[in-house]
């Protein structure tokens, strides 16, 4: 426990002075200073790259990082659902991650899928986890080293502490949120929100209907980030959500198309801004837009669009 406390203090000293609510981010500098530790078979520190598939990882990754394929490793093989507790535990154990490991995560698309894995760790009760600010792109663009060598670590014993439902929303929760005017944040593109398209180009999961959950505000995921892919300072993030009426007065539910972009929004609200009750609706639009009898709104509304997908 003392070692983890020292490591968290080091994170605070090395991060940019943005005064986030928690120390859930680490910098590229912090990771670069610990590459030998990450590459060690000692399970206390483990680095994980999470992408839609392993193409980026295979081309080159941070030395010592193991690679997770979001499609095959973190989703249930036969259901539109997250990976089961047993399969999740087996995945972590096989890659040398134990219950006491500090896990640092990064990935492509400015950490979409990395944020989803971070959310999964929170859902399954592994609290000692961080995101690498800026993800894969910032690491490479800042001239940091990469390798194609795939590390092999001794398998460890891992058991999920349980499921912590306070971070997850289901379809009935969203129905109740609409009735109670709970804050809903749609992290998709404005064209998706307005119902002009049902999904971004080149995607494999679609809804039959377009639009948004009634009452949801559209804060595009990329509005949380600076131009270099790192998160905006806390005052800018607070202003962004305050201007859209998303406050810490009650539960906030974030969603997108399949739950990965909204994981980034969940991370910002929960970890960087410290909102007390934030849920990620991982069923998202592929569930809501295909469900029978649920209300849908279409058309324009004020959005915050910083570009991106």
Residue 79 is predicted with a pLDDT of: 72
Asked whether the predicted pLDDT for residue 4 surpasses 60, the reply is: no
Asked whether the predicted pLDDT for residue 303 surpasses 50, the reply is: no
Range scoring the smallest mean pLDDT among 17-31, 39-53, 130-144? 17-31
Residue 306 is predicted with a pLDDT of: 45
Asked whether the predicted pLDDT for residue 8 surpasses 80, the reply is: no
Residue 78 is predicted with a pLDDT of: 66
Residue 93 is predicted with a pLDDT of: 98
User: Average pLDDT of 46-72?
Assistant: 96
Question: Which residues are bridge partners to 61 per DSSP?
Answer: 147
Higher pLDDT: 185 or 71? It is: 185
Nearest to 270 by CA among 244, 241, 290: 241
Can you tell me the distance from the alpha carbon of 100 to that of 192, in angstroms, rounded to the nearest whole number? 40
Residue 204 is predicted with a pLDDT of: 65
Residue 5 is predicted with a pLDDT of: 41
At the second CATH level, the architecture of 166-304 is 3-Layer(aba) Sandwich (3.40)
Q: Where are the domains of the chain?
A: 2-163, 166-304
Higher pLDDT: 301 or 58? It is: 58
Residue 141 is predicted with a pLDDT of: 96
* Catalytic positions: 256
Q: Give yes or no on whether 2-163 and 166-304 have one common fold.
A: yes
To the nearest whole percent, how much of the chain has pLDDT over 70?
90
Q: Which residues fall within 8 angstroms of residue 172, CB to CB, at 6 or more apart?
A: none
Nearest to 82 by CA among 120, 131, 128: 120
- Judging by beta carbons within 10 Å of its beta carbon (0-12, 13-18, 19+), is residue 172 exposed, middle or buried? exposed
Question: Which residues are bridge partners to 231 per DSSP?
Answer: 225
Class of domain 2-163: alpha beta
CA distances from 120 to 75, 80, 266 (A): 11, 15, 12
């Amino acid at each position: 426990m003392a070692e983890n406390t020292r490591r968290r203090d080091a994170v605070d000293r090395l991060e940019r002075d943005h005064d986030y609510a928690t120390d859930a981010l680490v910098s590229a500098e912090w990771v670069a200073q610990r590459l030998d530790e990450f590459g060690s078979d000692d399970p206390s520190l483990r680095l994980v790259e999470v992408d839609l598939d392993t193409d980026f990882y295979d081309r080159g990754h941070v030395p010592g990082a193991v690679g997770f394929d979001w499609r095959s490793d973190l989703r249930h093989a036969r259901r539109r659902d997250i990976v089961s507790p047993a399969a999740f535990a087996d995945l972590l154990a096989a890659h040398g991650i134990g219950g006491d490991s500090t896990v640092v995560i990064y990935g492509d698309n400015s950490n979409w899928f990395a944020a989803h894995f971070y959310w999964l760790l929170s859902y399954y009760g592994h609290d000692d986890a961080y995101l690498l600010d800026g993800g894969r792109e910032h690491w490479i663009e800042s001239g940091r080293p990469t390798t194609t060598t795939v590390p092999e670590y001794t398998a460890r014993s891992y058991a999920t502490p349980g499921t912590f439902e306070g971070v997850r929303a289901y379809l009935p929760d969203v129905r109740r949120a609409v009735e109670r005017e709970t804050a809903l944040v749609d992290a998709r593109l404005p064209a998706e929100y307005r119902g002009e398209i049902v999904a971004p180009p080149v995607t494999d999961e679609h809804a039959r209907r377009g639009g948004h959950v009634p009452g949801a505000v559209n804060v595009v995921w990329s509005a949380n980030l600076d131009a270099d892919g790192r998160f905006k300072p806390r005052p800018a993030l607070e202003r962004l959500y305050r201007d859209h009426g998303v406050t810490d007065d009650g539960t906030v539910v974030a969603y997108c198309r399949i739950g990965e972009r909204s994981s980034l929004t969940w991370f910002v609200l929960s970890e960087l801004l410290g909102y007390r009750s934030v849920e990620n609706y991982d069923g998202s639009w592929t569930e809501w837009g295909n469900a029978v009898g649920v209300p849908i709104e279409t058309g324009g509304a004020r959005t915050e669009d910083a570009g991106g997908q």
